[in-house]
């Protein structure tokens, strides 16, 4: 039996955190933590080693790009999947996110169904 994927949510906007948390659950995954800044996201990821992190790019403490790069540099977290969310939707913004090591980049505002589909795609088979 496949266990649900474990997802860490990090966004400095409480309403977006709640929306993402609901989307994670709708995708059939478990939320291991939901935090409001990049430093808390790093600490939580190191403690929990989630299958997927959904990170806002613009957060206090450390940006989603910085969190992603730090996770990729550490052997214990290098394999975690990362989905970046950002109001920046230009090709340069997306390229920066992917260059930081993100697996996917979703511009805000996003349709909830699109977020759920992206979470499912990134977590499919990770806990088999």
Q: How many independent structural domains does the chain possess?
A: 1
Q: Give the pLDDT of residue 29.
A: 97
Query: At how many degrees (to 10) do helices 64-73 and 38-48 cross?
Result: 30
Q: What is this structure's pTM?
A: 0.95
Distances (CA, A) of 14 to 10, 28, 40: 10, 21, 14
Q: Give the pLDDT of residue 1.
A: 58
Q: Does some domain include residue 128?
A: no
Q: Give the pLDDT of residue 118.
A: 96
Domain CATH for 111: 3.40.50.2300
Q: Give the pLDDT of residue 126.
A: 72
Domain that holds residue 76: 6-123
Tokens encoding 32 = 């291991």
Q: Does some domain include residue 32?
A: yes
Place of tokens 């540099």: 73
Segment-wise mean pLDDT, segments of 10 residues, the chain, 128 residues? 90 97 97 98 97 97 97 96 94 94 95 96 79
Q: Give the pLDDT of residue 58.
A: 95
Q: Does some domain include residue 1?
A: no
């Amino acid at each position: 039996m496949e266990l649900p994927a474990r997802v860490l949510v990090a966004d400095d906007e409480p309403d977006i955190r709640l929306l993402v948390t609901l989307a994670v659950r709708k995708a059939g995954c478990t939320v291991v933590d939901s935090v409001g800044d990049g430093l808390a996201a790093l600490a939580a990821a190191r403690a929990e080693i989630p299958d997927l992190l959904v990170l806002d790019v613009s957060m206090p403490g450390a940006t989603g790009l910085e969190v992603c790069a730090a996770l990729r540099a550490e052997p214990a977290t290098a394999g975690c999947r990362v989905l970046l969310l950002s109001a920046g939707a230009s090709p340069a913004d997306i390229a920066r996110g992917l260059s930081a090591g993100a697996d996917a980049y979703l511009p805000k505002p996003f349709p909830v169904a699109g977020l759920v589909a992206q979470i499912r795609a990134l977590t499919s088979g990770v806990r088999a």
